[in-house]
Amino acid sequence: MTTSSSGSIEAPANSRPGSSFSFASTSFTDMMGSSAAAAGGASRYKAMTPPSLPLSPPPVSPSSFFNIPGGLNPADFLDSPALLSSSMFPSPTTNAFASQQFSWLTPPQQQQGAAEQGGDKDGQRQTYPDFSFQTAPTTEEAVRTTTTFQQPPIQPGAPLVRSASGEDAYRGQQQQQPWSYQQQPGMDAGSSQAAYGGQFQAAGSSDAATEMAPHVPASGGYSQQQSQRRSSDDGYNWRKYGQKQVKGSENPRSYYKCTFPSCPTKKKVERSLDGQITEIVYKGTHNHAKPQNTRRNSSAAAQLLQLQGGDASGEHSFGGTPVATPENSSASFGDDEAAGGGSPRAGNAGGDEFDEDEPDSKRW
């Protein structure tokens, strides 16, 4: 079984360019990975919390990453109902935005069923441009998770690209739109995604969030280089072992292996020329728990949960909906970049770090 997801959030068409943003969601598969599997794979969760509450404030340095009109308090912006409006986030029940952006997608479980029924030829890959959790794989068979990032949000008519391998994925569109946030060159999608959609989780089995973990530039000067070097933000450690220029795509594809001994999990990451992640494909499942006592497993998620009214252990709920715990998930938030270099503001809810950013944590 294969799970994948991708998604995007876009601001209402009439929103102000400076205050709107879009982001491509990560699959956050790991959020559901082990836990869901452990639970029998029957659980399905949906992120109810809007991605509007980044664990960290927007990058301090000027950037097109997130433009906030002058005079607009970022905090206010984050609290703005507009950011939480249904027009920007999928309905928890329909997975569709008010604009019906994702009306085309099939709920994960349905897709799974479809795959089982032959809906998906190989039955191995599906793309869920929504933010709902999916049942984690229950077998050891290779699981491939695709996370497709898009610069502009998925448009209703966006072309669905099917790769030679039969993988479906929405590719990031090259053309940029005024209302789309622009990721800083060199800043991986994780940063942006985490910043604006860290809470969103899609299902999967592995740790899809990898590249998307919240390496939000720390106010104290987060190392962008570090951010790029570290390929994993999903709680697992990855080692890049190859890079290829895939024919038919101008984006180089990088290959990563889980560094855990004997762990067969691999992932492919495609980045656009400007460094934005356009696709992530996971292959295999981790045969180990996420490394602990690592910054990767930082408590960003925990804090997030706390912010959401949950706690860092046990079952949490976003807006009343149970979600994977930081422990069992490799949600994008809570990784290296996020925790370690990236988002100290993630707080120390679950750990011992980020003290220097406590002010930020409190602020947020």
Q: Tally Cβ neighbours within 10 Å of residue 60.
A: 12
The reply on whether position 34 binds DNA by CB under 7 A is: no
Q: Tally Cβ neighbours within 10 Å of residue 283.
A: 18
Of 188 and 357, nearer to DNA (C-beta) is 188
Q: What is the closest distance, in whole angstroms, from the C-beta atom of residue 114 to DNA in the complex?
A: 23
Among 21, 238, 333, 354, binds DNA (CB under 7 A): 238
Among 266, 286, 295, 345, binds DNA (CB under 7 A): 266
Contacting residues for 221 by C-beta, under 8 A, at least 6 apart: none
- The pattern of x and - marking residues 241 through 260 that bind DNA according to CB under 7 A reads xxxx-xxxx---xxxxx-x-
Q: What is the closest distance, in whole angstroms, from the C-beta atom of residue 147 to DNA in the complex?
A: 15
Of 88 and 218, nearer to DNA (C-beta) is 218
Of the candidates 234, 143, 126, the one whose C-alpha atom is nearest the C-alpha of residue 188 is 234
Q: What is the closest distance, in whole angstroms, from the C-beta atom of residue 175 to DNA in the complex?
A: 23
Of 230 and 290, nearer to DNA (C-beta) is 230
CB 334 within 8 A of CB 300: yes
Q: Give the interface size with DNA as a residue count (CB under 7 A).
A: 27
The reply on whether position 236 binds DNA by CB under 7 A is: no
Among 121, 162, 229, 363, binds DNA (CB under 7 A): 229
Q: What is the closest distance, in whole angstroms, from the C-beta atom of residue 154 to DNA in the complex?
A: 23
DSSP state of 24: E
Among 46, 171, 230, 290, binds DNA (CB under 7 A): 230
Contact segment (CB under 7 A) with DNA among 68-76, 102-110, 126-134, 239-247 equals: 239-247
Residues 160-199 that bind DNA (CB under 7 A): 164-165
CB 339 within 8 A of CB 329: no
CA distances from 174 to 109, 130, 272, 276 (A): 31, 21, 9, 11
Q: What is the closest distance, in whole angstroms, from the C-beta atom of residue 238 to DNA in the complex?
A: 6
The reply on whether position 268 binds DNA by CB under 7 A is: yes
Contacting residues for 264 by C-beta, under 8 A, at least 6 apart: 258, 284, 285, 287
Contact segment (CB under 7 A) with DNA among 20-28, 179-187, 231-239, 355-363 equals: 231-239
Q: Tally Cβ neighbours within 10 Å of residue 326.
A: 27
Tally the residues of the chain: 364
Burial of 157 (0-12, 13-18, 19+ CB in 10 A): exposed
Backbone angles phi, psi at 12, to 5 degrees: -55, 150
Of 16 and 240, nearer to DNA (C-beta) is 240
Q: What is the closest distance, in whole angstroms, from the C-beta atom of residue 224 to DNA in the complex?
A: 12
Q: Tally Cβ neighbours within 10 Å of residue 72.
A: 14
Binding site for DNA (CB under 7 A): 164-165, 225, 228-231, 237-244, 246-249, 253-257, 259, 266, 268
